[in-house]
Structure 1
């Protein structure tokens, strides 16, 4: 049973910045005192003259529920008997100037449905998880040499009911998870689910870091969603936003009448690009709050990983600020040393408790060693979004194919650094909003060519080393950019081209799952070699992806022009026969049907610095994947075993 007063050791660790389960101490928790059941409320408000608890249970009059200051550095606590599950509450804070502010609980587990802003009492414990097999399996495999193909989802707009109402967590568990599994994805990445007041912030400007949004149901409903994902073999990654928070009055801004969670200096606190405030990483209590929050989602909701948003905005003091507002650190630099130390401490702490967790940095900067361990001088993440690859590829794909030959380096430059970090290749929501157009509508050419261009982009992405991420709607070629108040254009599946695109992505995803060469050595140079990186005149690239089995490899050929090549010679590393394992140009996908229908037999004619070569058909705007004949591979294996 929880003590009626927070323990002195917990308070010491909280103020030291190392109470990493502070959500078990702070906030509202059911307990008993002298045989009476009630709730212990605990909040950090060091500048407050007085703090009161107000809520349904006292008719929003806190005069009888004045909290006790239980630490020198400003923690307040009070046991209130008779409070029931689901009741609403806030903190009424008397500032040093005698004014009153009303704040939601920073550690609340549940919030009033918008537009309400109160916190709700909620018993978070008691859900019976059924994902034991998933959790056990996760400990047996490193993610580095496993497939990872992520479907990024905004729950409020993936699909809506006829009346425009949201699907609940439990309804999405039935609709979304089966769809993701059918499409061949390994993970769902959820855009931020921490409670937030404004739908069009997409969750990135939060008020309730410990409260999964009530838009779609209760915290236990969300637990059910995650549980069902795991039972279906789908991992769950959640966007997490430690860089900034929203300014709404009931949130963290000037929580006790003065800057508390944010920097005292407005120049350091303000994020003018987003109209938000930065967390103050010099305050130990803020470190306890944030690292505990990361662990909270892993502890209580069994989340498999966190995609840490806007890491560059933490690393640099002047990120997104006009030059006239620039400031410098004590050494005259642009770096934010406290935030850098926070990121290192975050990753060290999380990995100490969850060695197989996914900690992904969404970092648009060129900061070195983002995915290197802290002891090796890194930030300690295990994955980083490859924003350079994404920008180069989209710039290239938006060009008319006639002019692509002059920018061939955009296709190949990423291989100069692809092994410098453990990368995820993202085609995320950020690329299909704010007038940027949908992925399909970025593609040049006529209607047919748009779809063909998108197919070759996806094929090249699947062949490129690195884990994969695609935003919802991209799998069926959503034509309009993402509308953050409407659901996806599911009606487009009534048209052959969009339905063919969905078939294509489904089959490409399942091919990815089946072929170890596409993921087992993602982060090792031994897993990749060029056949021809320099055919800029024809805008064709060809390369080999390899697994740990020397006989298990794929040859990937991508044609970025609408020209068909018959009898095209390509170098191959082994003699024998090659079969067409995959072709983006088959008619069911909407292609023109240019295929390699029979085995391709090698010739003892060296080409592309390879000892052998084959002649093949390369379709227009297409990806073709060749694989050594199985019979040939078996013969090679038998010969090797005979010695």
Structure 2
């Protein structure tokens, strides 16, 4: 290492410090395979640093640069005058119009400065009230030189837009200035060490065939999430989007919380209430692209195709039919980084799941590109250096401003250093979604009988992640719940979910298998697959149907755009057993903390016996995936001697198991090398069952401590 390059000490693991250069190549110290790409790492770090310098010199640093919403858009002054500013460099003239001035284009003309920003100040009314009434419609009207025509647009920084489907499918911008501001009552909870994420969509959270509301979610769904033991909620489809069926991924107004669920204050109350329950709330943020709508979106905002976006083909995502931001331009960067601060400050979100990160990282957007894991795929001309710099800036700003913030990247490419700190040369995320895991489960369920499942292959997919880069594992998310695919429960039980899920009917082989494997698949993903865990709402109890939003192809039906809580609340139906197992997993993790522990040591993956055994955080996990074979006195290795007891057992009757394991039994270790361990024990492992053991003197909780909310059928 050159002596001319300054260095710093980094604690990469508890108690383990490494010396790293300050030129952006620090990640090479962690992964020597990155050495051939050191120059590329230094270059991208230099690009990021040049942006930091520009922001410091031109915009007084992050603190000022990321408060664009205090300058642009509508800002009410202490005397109730209103200042409105909008960046529209191509426009030659502009005026503010709305219900307040009868849409008169001559009433409130705007002035343009040398930076392409139009502005106007509206003094208060004679009685001291703001000139624009609360909840009234507004627009900016501009003249453009290309055709000398006038165009009307929704303000880019507007914080409220509404839609009257009886009049027009187009959204209206609304001046939102309620007389009573929402006051948050609860502080943000501490940053969870073990992230247990409940992915949720407010609109589908009603069991009725309609759009649910923020208030209903607060009253009806938050208590369910807290009861299950999740400590984090990831809210989807919050940023306003014109097309409901886009799942929120075609954003039209980036600073507006979706009005279809209620008011901004209703969303604030939801987040505040979650905080009061000790639950962290993340926003599924969409900065990877934008809806191509013109009349109620950012597209062609000032009459050009390149106001906020790249011009021409680079500014269009052909598969998503959307527009792509110009991350290398000053004002779009201010817009996006201010957007992050807006959601953190105004709504008190605790962090973000960044959508479409793979699309951002590469100019080819990952389309038809099979990432093989070769490092050359991540450092070449196909990488979008401007987008990489934006993500580094975004993470750097968030971590410096909000020390407990959480950022998650939706990336399928496996970009090295994505989840390492920016000062090391990483991109700065805390976690990446382990997207290969759900794909693997669906592939196995579609293409193989479970007696053909390969234990080694399963373990490989669940443990194949970069050292010191955290993953969030999941068996299925919203992607697997969509129409055209099937949930894990549906793949295994299909039509019998409609006919044989009652305790009053015999337990069929199909339902018995489906429930047993549903519990095992989720638990091995939870315990082995990452440093965080994610579940999409309803899947915890094996939601009986897929998800399909109202659209032309289904006659605008809401039948599948809902969550059927009634089936899990019905004491006679078997969905309750899966729900209770999911709860047991979350509560157990909250006691034993395996998600925040180092990666598991896998001692056994036996193909013939279909046994997988591993240790993590002092818990010994034993999975028997064999369809028919139970094993008595089965040898299992462990590193820790002592007397062990069962803390979790999927075969318990409270989870619709067969009750084959006696929880009062102790398992004693015997010295001697076994499966690479210094100790071993003999264990009874029934077929299609997972048991988790803990040393008796270290047990703080077992599933027997759970209160049973239902009268379970003893048969």
Match among 683, 694, 705 for residue 616 of structure 1 = 683
Matched, 1:255 2:326: no
Task: Identify the residue that residue 99 of structure 1 maps to in structure 2.
Answer: 149
Instruction: Map 1:171-570 to 2 at 5 A.
Output: 171-250=216-295, 251-319=297-365, 333-398=381-446, 399-405=448-454, 408-426=456-474, 427-443=476-492, 446-464=510-528, 465-484=530-549, 485=558, 486-493=561-568, 494=570, 495-516=572-593, 518-521=594-597, 524-525=598-599, 528-532=600-604, 534-546=605-617, 553-563=618-628, 564-570=630-636
Cα deviation 1:589-635 (Å, max 9, x = unaligned): 111222143112233454223233222221222211011112899xx
Task: Identify the residue that residue 6 of structure 1 maps to in structure 2.
Answer: none
Q: Is the 8 A contact 2:305 2:312 kept in 1?
A: no
Change (3 A) 1:505 1:531: same
Q: Is the 8 A contact 2:624 2:689 kept in 1?
A: yes
What is the SS of the residue equivalent to 2:619? strand
Match among 175, 179, 194 for residue 121 of structure 1 = 175
Change (3 A) 1:166 1:356: same
The 1-side partners of 2:69 and 2:311 are apart by 28
Task: Identify the residue that residue 496 of structure 2 maps to in structure 1.
Answer: none
Q: Is the 8 A contact 1:311 1:361 kept in 2?
A: yes
What is the SS of the residue equivalent to 1:63? coil
Match among 128, 131, 147 for residue 186 of structure 2 = 131
Q: Is the 8 A contact 1:14 1:22 kept in 2?
A: no
The 1-side partners of 2:426 and 2:699 are apart by 44
What is the SS of the residue equivalent to 1:119? strand
Task: Identify the residue that residue 43 of structure 1 maps to in structure 2.
Answer: 86
Unaligned 5+ segments in structure 1 are 1-8, 324-330, 547-552, 634-643
Match among 194, 201, 206 for residue 159 of structure 1 = 206
The 2-side partners of 1:78 and 1:372 are apart by 44
Instruction: Map 1:4-15 to 2 at 5 A.
Output: 13=59
CA RMSD across the alignment: 2.6
Task: Identify the residue that residue 641 of structure 1 maps to in structure 2.
Answer: none
Instruction: Map 1:53-64 to 2 at 5 A.
Output: 53-64=96-107
Change (3 A) 1:624 1:321: closer
Pairwise CA distance, 1:192: 2.7
Cα deviation 1:44-82 (Å, max 9, x = unaligned): 10000111111110112222111111x212100111242
Q: Is the 8 A contact 2:673 2:679 kept in 1?
A: yes
The 2-side partners of 1:119 and 1:10 are apart by 33
Q: Is the 8 A contact 2:473 2:526 kept in 1?
A: no
Q: Is the 8 A contact 2:160 2:257 kept in 1?
A: yes
Q: Which moved more, 1:115-124 or 1:578-587?
A: 115-124
Pairwise CA distance, 1:213: 0.8
Q: Is the 8 A contact 2:640 2:679 kept in 1?
A: yes
The 2-side partners of 1:609 and 1:167 are apart by 53
Q: Is the 8 A contact 2:62 2:397 kept in 1?
A: no
Q: Is the 8 A contact 1:65 1:78 kept in 2?
A: yes
Q: Which moved more, 1:77-86 or 1:274-283?
A: 77-86
TM-score by length of 2: 0.78
The 2-side partners of 1:428 and 1:221 are apart by 26
Task: Identify the residue that residue 122 of structure 2 maps to in structure 1.
Answer: 80
The 2-side partners of 1:496 and 1:585 are apart by 18
The 2-side partners of 1:313 and 1:606 are apart by 48
The 2-side partners of 1:631 and 1:432 are apart by 39
Q: Is the 8 A contact 1:397 1:457 kept in 2?
A: no
Q: Is the 8 A contact 1:273 1:320 kept in 2?
A: no
Q: Is the 8 A contact 2:531 2:596 kept in 1?
A: no
The 2-side partners of 1:428 and 1:10 are apart by 40
Change (3 A) 1:267 1:332: farther
Q: Is the 8 A contact 1:129 1:227 kept in 2?
A: yes
The 2-side partners of 1:68 and 1:461 are apart by 58
TM-score by length of 1: 0.87
Matched, 1:585 2:585: no
Task: Identify the residue that residue 626 of structure 1 maps to in structure 2.
Answer: 693
The 1-side partners of 2:452 and 2:533 are apart by 27
What is the SS of the residue equivalent to 2:620? strand
The 2-side partners of 1:356 and 1:433 are apart by 33
Q: Is the 8 A contact 1:262 1:277 kept in 2?
A: no
Q: Which moved more, 1:50-59 or 1:476-485?
A: 476-485
Matched, 1:603 2:670: yes
The 2-side partners of 1:16 and 1:222 are apart by 27
